[in-house]
Amino acid sequence: MINMCIISGNDRAKKATKLLKHINELKVIGLSAGHSRLSENMRSPLDDELATSSEAIYFDQYNPSFDLIKKAIQRSNHLFFSSIPSFTESELKQLINLSAEAESRTQIFIPQIFSSVNLNQIKRSHSPFLANIRVALKPEVEEEKTLEHILLFLTFLDHSELRKVETMTIPGQDGYSVIEIRLAFTSGSVARILLSNQIEDTNCGIEIFRQGSVVLKFQSENFEPKQLVEAEKNAVEHFIQSIRKNNSYCVGLQHLDQACQILRILKLRINDNGNFFSEKRQAV
């Protein structure tokens, strides 16, 4: 049995509590709720107490401070993030080194990896591969967040270093119409990512082509609430197996570090002012 605490951005953490109580290998021993981006850098005595008494921490839709994560890893806590955490480049490097020393395990929940259908496909995938990814851009879609998930999916799937990045944008009347990104990895894998407000939902998805194998198709967005709950449960179960040093799939800080590096390059290539998309867009 693994003792786990919940640190949540929700006042009652209903979703996290409901999810975790149905996993037999876990025992929820405490809850610290009601955090927000305004309070994330304020150290809570309760957070410190929970981190000290638990083996693992579940961060529920909340971006915890670097200091809290650093202290937790130094105590050899294992960390589960239900959303992608935000750290600077230097902070990530430091946390990766500390995690290796403390043998602290990390899991970042990415639906594109842990949804049940996609998980079965991942078991059949290996590099090198050719990935073809199509994303429909809509007013409610956060482009940078969408790309973060895709890049974490790719860095998890490939297990090698980035070799080359190419980008192209085609402006439309009301801003860009198409953004194409090509990534080449040292393994020989290549990924083509096409984002456009002219792509229909039915044409979205991820295709993985490999030599001597049928194409693997992955759902990339528009997950139903039931699918997301099941996917997160899968991610927690793999996290538990990782803690026990059994075979498992985990999206760790090293994957986040590489995805963030790629995202920084894309920002520079597409937009010199550092914002991912601005009012004026042009081909590069």
Residue ranges covered by each domain of the chain: 2-104, 112-222+260-270
**Quick one: which H or E segment has residue 135?**
strand 130-136
Choose between 195 and 273: higher pLDDT. Answer: 195
Cβ neighbourhood burial of 11 (10 Å; 0-12, 13-18, 19+): exposed
Predicted confidence (pLDDT) per residue in 191-223, tens digit:
999 988 888 888 889 999 998 889 999 988 888
Confidence at residue 11, expressed as pLDDT on a 0 to 100 scale: 65
Predicted confidence (pLDDT) per residue in 62-103, tens digit:
788 898 899 999 999 999 999 999 999 999 999 999 999 999
27-41, 43-57, 212-226, range with the lowest pLDDT: 27-41
How far, in Å, are 15, 106, 154, 250 from residue 19 at the CA level? 6, 18, 27, 18
The whole-number average pLDDT for the span 17-38 is 81
Confidence at residue 273, expressed as pLDDT on a 0 to 100 scale: 41
The whole-number average pLDDT for the span 264-280 is 65
Is it the case that residue 261 has pLDDT exceeding 70?
Answer: yes
* Three-state DSSP state, 200: coil
Superfamily of domain 2-104, CATH level 4: NAD(P)-binding Rossmann-like Domain (3.40.50.720)
CATH fold group of domain 112-222+260-270: Dihydrodipicolinate Reductase; domain 2 (3.30.360)
107-111, 221-225, 241-245, range with the lowest pLDDT: 221-225
Is it the case that residue 244 has pLDDT exceeding 60?
Answer: yes
Model confidence at 12, pLDDT cuts 50, 70, 90, reads: low
pTM of the model: 0.89
